């Protein structure tokens, strides 16, 4: 009989004997993966949402005087010194007037008595479409307000700040649930394997005496940890997928959630979560063996 | 003291003990300066009262314990410092029937016997056949699926012996093989050991049961208080 077949028989036998504690560990690992993946899913969707909202975001810098071509160049240089931007548009008083008139549509008569240069010239700064730029928008705004000849800077200040704090909170939750995942998988698996080792002390002693190699004794425990990781993470991700589908179905009508375009993890992210969980469980199993399995 | 093999002893040496001593803390001397050569295919008896050092000697031979002093060689190789894979390989070639049985009491008789073959990756069908044969030879066929915790002491002793010889080891160490057996079963057990010996296995039997070595033609070494006391060649009485 081959080594692996013998080892698999050992694993099967052990799982049968300690199925209670193995099941508890499996559920704990699954739950940890589910909690972490749940918050991570919200976080990634929030990032996507932020990027989409960022598409419409621009900072409008109102100027005292219309800048000449040379000053425009200087201002462009100053702006790009702070951060890369998507676009910089200089709006003259006349352009601002025309745009305003267009926006008023049929009511543009109200402008008839107004001088064509009553609106201030401005610069429209469109930041890059990423969260870093979005989070930096407040700093960017302060920077722009200090540019020479600036009257004031306008942008969707309220929601940008709220969104920034919300994503920051989410990132902390993701970090905490990630730590929870690491602790539970490592410690729960390590604890279960430790219980198994203690429960099978007599057998392990005998195995050594009849000539079992270290690999013969250790590999089943490693496989048990690995199996916990595989099953636990699959179960966790699968449960999240079911939950995700249910939420999508349940809130598919006109509701607040419809503002967001929720999407599940890409296969790469799912595989990474599963792989990391497997690694953590195997690590838990290995650390216990090093500590308690004296052969 | 060194005891050399007599004229009938096989030429190759399986076990070589040179001035072997074993001391347990703080100052309990279990064996002192034991030197003996046991040939390949020899049946060798170690006798003595309780506490004479018989079990310690067997434990040293199967590398369950390490000697405090002296050298132990199996097939010409020192086993004093054996570790890991080499130690495992050596132990696969040694079958040991322990005095305290060391059975897994929550496993069946068949599973207990199979364990020594599983570690050397024998095929399941070979293991099953060997287990059945041994159980038949030891009159335990009806106990195949019985959990060993439910067996009598005598039955457990036979299961231990079956496990020791199951993997067809080149060396068999047996500690008090007949302690819990009646006369008929003792005869059956000894017949099995003789068969193994005829098949080429070196057998060392530690016992205080004089009925099994009284009429033997094999060498008998007597220990007293951990020290060599005498060596008799056959027909000990």
Q: Output the CA angle A229-B121-A200, nearest 5 degrees.
A: 50
| Range B104-114 average pLDDT | 94
pLDDT at B130 over 70: yes
Q: Is B118 on the interface with A (CB under 8 A)?
A: yes
| Range A151-168 average pLDDT | 79
What's the confidence (pLDDT) of residue A294? 65
Q: Output the CA angle A77-A80-A86, nearest 5 degrees.
A: 125
What's the confidence (pLDDT) of residue A254? 60
Q: What is the pLDDT of residues B197-222, one digit of tens each?
A: 999 999 999 998 888 888 888 999 99
Identify the H or E element spanning B73. Answer: strand B69-74
Domain count, chain B: 1
Q: For tokens 């050569």, name the residue.
A: B37
Tokens of A123: 């610069």
| Range A223-246 average pLDDT | 92
More confident residue, A259 or A59: A59
More confident residue, B77 or A161: B77
Beta bridge partners of B16: B37, B73
φ/ψ (deg, to 5) at B83: -145, 165
Query: Is residue B220 in some structural domain?
Result: yes
Q: Is B182 on the interface with A (CB under 8 A)?
A: no
pLDDT at A10 over 80: yes
User: Which of B62, B88, B118 shows the shortest C-beta gap to A6?
Assistant: B118
What's the confidence (pLDDT) of residue B146? 96
How far separated are the first and last CA of chain B, in Å rounded? 23
Look at residues A256, A61, A28, A252 and name the one whose alpha carbon lies nearest to residue A146: A61
Contact by Cβ (8 Å): A24, A195: no
What's the confidence (pLDDT) of residue B236? 40
Judge: B115–A2 Cβ closer than 8 Å, yes or no. no
Domain A58-155 in CATH 3.30.70.3040? The answer is: yes
B159 is in which domain, residue-wise?
42-60+83-233
Beta bridge partners of B81: none
Query: Is residue B190 in some structural domain?
Result: yes
What's the confidence (pLDDT) of residue B228? 92
Q: How far apart are CA B153 and CA B105, in angstroms?
A: 12
Look at residues A243, A278, A250, A261 and name the one whose alpha carbon lies nearest to residue A34: A243
Query: Is residue B191 in some structural domain?
Result: yes
Tokens of A151: 């009257």
Q: How far apart are CA B103 and CA B174, in angstroms?
A: 15
Contact by Cβ (8 Å): B234, B216: yes
| Range B102-111 average pLDDT | 93
pLDDT at B10 over 60: no
Residues in chain B with CB shorter than 8 Å from the CB of A202 are 102, 104
Query: Is residue B197 in some structural domain?
Result: yes
| Range B60-67 average pLDDT | 92
All CATH 3.30.70.3040 domain ranges in chain A, comma separated? 58-155
| Range B132-151 average pLDDT | 94
| Range A92-118 average pLDDT | 85
Q: How far apart are CA B168 and CA A291, in angstroms?
A: 35
Long-range contacts of B81-88 (CB under 8 A, 24+ apart): B84/A213, B84/A214, B85/A213, B85/A214, B87/B63, B88/A208, B88/A211, B88/A212, B88/A213, B88/A214, B88/A216, B88/B119
pLDDT at A43 over 90: no
In chain A, % of residues over pLDDT 90? 17
Beta bridge partners of B221: B46, B231
pLDDT at A57 over 50: yes
Judge: B116–A202 Cβ closer than 8 Å, yes or no. no
pTM as predicted: 0.70
pLDDT at A119 over 50: yes
Q: Give B161's contacts (C-beta < 8 A, 6+ positions apart).
A: B97, B138, B174, B177, B189, B192, B193
Contact by Cβ (8 Å): A160, A57: yes
What's the confidence (pLDDT) of residue B159? 95
Query: Is residue B154 in some structural domain?
Result: yes
pLDDT at A131 over 60: no
CATH assignment of the domain containing B195: 3.40.50.300
Reported as a pLDDT band with limits 50, 70 and 90, residue A259 is low
Query: Is residue B150 in some structural domain?
Result: yes
Reported as a pLDDT band with limits 50, 70 and 90, residue B129 is very high
Whether the ω angle into residue B162 lies within 30 degrees of 0, i.e. cis, is: no
pLDDT at A257 over 60: no
| Range B192-196 average pLDDT | 92
What's the confidence (pLDDT) of residue B181? 80
Query: Is residue B67 in some structural domain?
Result: no
Judge: B122–A210 Cβ closer than 8 Å, yes or no. no
pLDDT at B157 over 70: yes
Judge: B102–A6 Cβ closer than 8 Å, yes or no. no
Q: For tokens 């690694």, name the residue.
A: A279
Look at residues B108, B163, B169, B175 and name the one whose alpha carbon lies nearest to residue B138: B163
User: What ipTM, to 2 d.p.?
Assistant: 0.85
Q: Is B129 on the interface with A (CB under 8 A)?
A: no
Residue B176 CB neighbours (<10 A): 20
Q: Which of A3, A210, A215 to mutate to test the interface with B (most CBs of B within 10 A)?
A: A210
C-alpha distances (whole Å) from A65 to each of A85, A90, A101 are 23, 12, 21
Residue length of chain B: 237
């Amino acid at each position: 009989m081959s080594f692996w077949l013998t080892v698999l028989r050992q694993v099967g036998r052990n799982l049968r004997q300690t199925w209670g504690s193995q099941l508890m560990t499996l559920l704990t690992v699954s739950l940890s993966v589910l909690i972490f993946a749940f918050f991570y899913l919200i976080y990634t969707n929030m990032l996507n949402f932020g990027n989409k909202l960022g598409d419409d975001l621009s900072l409008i810098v109102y100027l005292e005087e219309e800048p000449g071509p040379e000053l425009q160049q200087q201002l462009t240089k100053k702006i790009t010194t702070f951060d890369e931007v998507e676009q910089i548009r200089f709006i003259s008083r006349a352009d601002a007037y025309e745009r305003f008139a267009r926006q008023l549509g049929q009511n543009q008569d109200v402008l008839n008595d107004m001088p064509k240069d009553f609106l201030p010239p401005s610069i429209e700064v469109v930041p890059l479409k990423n969260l870093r730029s979005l989070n930096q928008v407040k700093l960017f705004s302060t920077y722009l307000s200090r540019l020479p000849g600036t009257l004031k800077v306008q942008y969707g200040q309220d929601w940008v700040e709220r969104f920034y704090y919300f994503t920051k909170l989410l990132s902390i939750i993701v970090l905490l649930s990630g730590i929870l995942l690491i602790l539970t998988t490592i410690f729960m698996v390590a604890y279960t394997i430790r219980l198994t080792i203690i429960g099978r002390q007599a057998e392990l002693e005998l195995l050594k005496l009849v000539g079992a190699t270290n690999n013969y004794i250790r590999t089943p425990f490693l496989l048990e940890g690995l199996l916990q990781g595989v099953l636990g993470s699959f179960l966790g991700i699968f449960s999240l997928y079911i939950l995700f589908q249910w939420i999508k179905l349940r809130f598919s009508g006109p509701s607040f959630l419809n503002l967001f375009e929720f999407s599940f993890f890409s296969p790469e992210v799912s595989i990474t979560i599963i792989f990391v969980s497997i690694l953590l469980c195997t690590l838990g199993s290995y650390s216990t063996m090093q500590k308690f399995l004296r052969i | 003291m060194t005891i050399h093999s007599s004229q009938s002893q096989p030429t190759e040496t399986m076990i070589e003990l040179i001035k072997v001593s074993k001391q347990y803390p703080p100052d309990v001397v279990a064996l002192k300066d034991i030197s003996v050569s046991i040939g390949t295919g020899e049946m060798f008896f170690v006798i003595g009262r309780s506490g004479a050092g018989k079990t310690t000697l067997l434990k040293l031979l199967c590398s369950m314990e390490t000697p405090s002093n002296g050298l132990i060689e199996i097939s010409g190789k020192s086993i004093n410092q054996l570790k890991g894979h080499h130690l495992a390989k050596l132990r696969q070639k040694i079958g040991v029937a322990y005095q305290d049985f060391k059975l897994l009491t929550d496993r069946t008789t068949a599973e207990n016997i199979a364990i020594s073959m599983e570690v050397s990756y024998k095929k399941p069908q070979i293991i099953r056949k060997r287990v059945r044969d041994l159980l038949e030879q030891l009159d335990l066929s009806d106990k195949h699926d019985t959990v060993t915790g439910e067996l009598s002491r005598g039955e457990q002793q036979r299961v231990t012996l079956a496990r020791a010889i199951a993997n067809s080891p080149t060396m068999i160490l047996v500690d008090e093989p007949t302690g819990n057996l009646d006369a008929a079963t003792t005869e059956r057990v000894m017949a099995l050991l003789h068969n193994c010996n005829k098949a080429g296995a070196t057998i060392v039997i530690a016992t205080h049961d004089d009925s099994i070595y009284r009429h033997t033609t094999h060498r008998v070494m007597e220990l007293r208080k951990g020290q060599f006391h005498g060596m008799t060649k056959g027909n000990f009485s």
